[in-house]
Structure 1
Amino acid sequence: MGPDLLKLLLTPALIVAATLLQRRWATLFGGRLVGLPLTAASSLTLLTLREGETFAVQTAIATLSGQLAIAAFCLGYARTALAHRWPIALAIAVCCYGIAALILSRHDFSLPALEFLVPTGLAATLAAWPALTPREVLPMQWELPARMVVATAMTTLVLASATMLGSKTIGLVASFPLFAALFAAHEHYGAGGPAAIISLRSVVVGAFTSSVFFLTIASTLPYWGALGAFPLAVAATVFAHIAVNLFTYGSKSRDSCIGRMNERQLASSA
């Protein structure tokens, strides 16, 4: 299979496979499998093949730090969505991401430092999150094809600009939660701010498992090579995904450790 064909097929194939697994074993996996870092995994795999393991390790470290920028985006949107409509919330969230990414790009964090900073930052984000009663956010009818198109476009952009931008910048660019932004704006417009806030909280929770993937790649790729590092990273990420979702949401919605406030209470307190 040629590299161009692999680039076009790998990302959408992962998304379709994850969606089918979610429909078959939703209870086992404790959360939506599309919350896994599917786009980043395919991008990093292709970058390893094209740019080499050293470049891929540096990109993985940058993308690991980018989880903090994702948290800034989500929290910025969530806090703004309490009182404003989606265009303002989205603009504020993008600004939050940009500021966080700029700060991260100016510092060379070591991997041990990120092992502390990333989970601490994500936990702080959840602690500052607006409290809502957990409920299911229904997927859009066009969610699967939209995810495939957006993910393929992001992968193509990352591969096309990787050499020009460098590993650190491309890692932060690849971290931008494009589909999450589109989904949140759609939910905000159609169902109100609380629906967008709930959907973005799942993005922050998913950042914990994404962090496991990038951390595993950065730690093991130089020693085990791609054939050893990527399967291990996938296995570690799936187990982390199950554990994080069970801890955060519980086996049933009533078991969740999320703080509760219904939407009427939220509206009255905004």
Structure 2
Amino acid sequence: MNILLLKVTLMPTVIALVTLAIRKWGSKAGGLIGSMPWVAGPILLFFILEQGKSFGIYSIQGSMTGILALISFCVSYSAFSRNFTWFPTLLISYGLYTATALVFKYLQLNLYVSYAIVMISVVLSLQFYPLPIGPPASTRRLPFDIPIRMAVATVFVLAITALASVLGPNWSGILTPFPIMTTILAIFTHTLQGSSATITTLRGLVIGLLGFTTFLFLQAFLLNQYSVALSFGIAFVVNVLINLAASRVW
């Protein structure tokens, strides 16, 4: 199958299904669902299909840095959403995301240390996560809500995978967990349901990063031994099990 065709059909379908799932099961469950590797998994797959399996494996180290930056984005967006509208909140959060990515890129930590720091960071951030102020606002929906989300996510994925050969595996890995899904969730929830629902959704997403991070971490080992389909399948099951356990704890 043509890879470009796969990109422009797979990603919109995933975004639409996740959006519908969030509407059905609510903000916290929506965050957990959104944290699954719906975007990062296909991006890693496209890296492998276009650049080779070795490129994909080497990109995973950078992905750990990207996840640390993603945690920074979620916490900062949640905190600032209580006082600002979506646009300034997004700009501040992207700034902190970029600063975090640059700091940990400079430190050049190995995969094991990076994985441990991510897992510890998730747990610590949940202990001190910003609290919602007041109940969620009533749900509103924009016309063509789902098509807009689908289009934005597809453009992001096309851009990241197109730049892979220029950026190399490390920076490509850093951009793999770039908050594509998170940005869409944050902006639409903030605009339509208010800060409290946004904080609940993003907190659910951070909880899900325990499983998401493990999914990517396992690829560094599974892809050396098994096919892409089996590697992704094993790690996806582990991801789901971790998310189920984490949702009970938090």
Q: TM-score, normalised by structure 2?
A: 0.84
CA distance in 2, matches of 1:145, 1:239: 31
Q: Match of 1:117? A: 117
Question: Residues 154-174 of structure 1, C-alpha deviation per residue, up to 9 Å, x if partnerless?
Answer: 221121100001111122223
Q: Is 1:47–2:47 an aligned residue pair?
A: yes
Q: Match of 1:68? A: 68
> Is contact 2:219-2:232 (8 Å) kept?
yes
Q: Match of 2:179? A: 177
The alpha-carbon distance between structure 1 residues 134 and 122, as it changes in their structure 2 partners (threshold 3 A), is farther
Q: Write the letter of the residue equivalent to 1:188.
A: H
Q: Match of 1:194? A: 196
Range 68-77 or range 192-201, more displaced: 192-201
1:29-178 pair list within 5 angstroms: 31-32=29-30, 33-132=33-132, 140=141, 142-178=144-180
Question: Residues 95-136 of structure 1, C-alpha deviation per residue, up to 9 Å, x if partnerless?
Answer: 110100111221322221123111101111112212238977
Shift of 1:203: 2.4
The alpha-carbon distance between structure 1 residues 236 and 31, as it changes in their structure 2 partners (threshold 3 A), is same
Q: Compute the RMSD of aligned alpha carbons.
A: 2.9
Question: Residues 171-196 of structure 1, C-alpha deviation per residue, up to 9 Å, x if partnerless?
Answer: 22232213423442344344443232
Q: Write the letter of the residue equivalent to 2:109.
A: F
List runs of 5+ in structure 2 lacking aligned partners: none
- Give 3-state SS (helix, strand or coil) of 2:45's partner: helix
The alpha-carbon distance between structure 1 residues 136 and 223, as it changes in their structure 2 partners (threshold 3 A), is farther
| Larger Rg computed on CA atoms | 1
Question: Residues 1-42 of structure 1, C-alpha deviation per residue, up to 9 Å, x if partnerless?
Answer: 222222222223344555677789x69xx9333431201111
- Percent identity over paired residues: 25
The alpha-carbon distance between structure 1 residues 143 and 34, as it changes in their structure 2 partners (threshold 3 A), is farther
Matched residues, number: 245
CA distance in 1, matches of 2:150, 2:244: 23
Range 164-173 or range 137-146, more displaced: 137-146
> Is contact 2:149-2:184 (8 Å) kept?
no
The alpha-carbon distance between structure 1 residues 84 and 115, as it changes in their structure 2 partners (threshold 3 A), is same
- Give 3-state SS (helix, strand or coil) of 1:89's partner: helix
> Is contact 1:78-1:200 (8 Å) kept?
yes
The alpha-carbon distance between structure 1 residues 21 and 88, as it changes in their structure 2 partners (threshold 3 A), is closer
The alpha-carbon distance between structure 1 residues 231 and 95, as it changes in their structure 2 partners (threshold 3 A), is same
The alpha-carbon distance between structure 1 residues 8 and 233, as it changes in their structure 2 partners (threshold 3 A), is same
Q: TM-score, normalised by structure 1?
A: 0.78
Residue from 240, 244, 247 that aligns with 1:245: 247
Range 80-89 or range 126-135, more displaced: 126-135
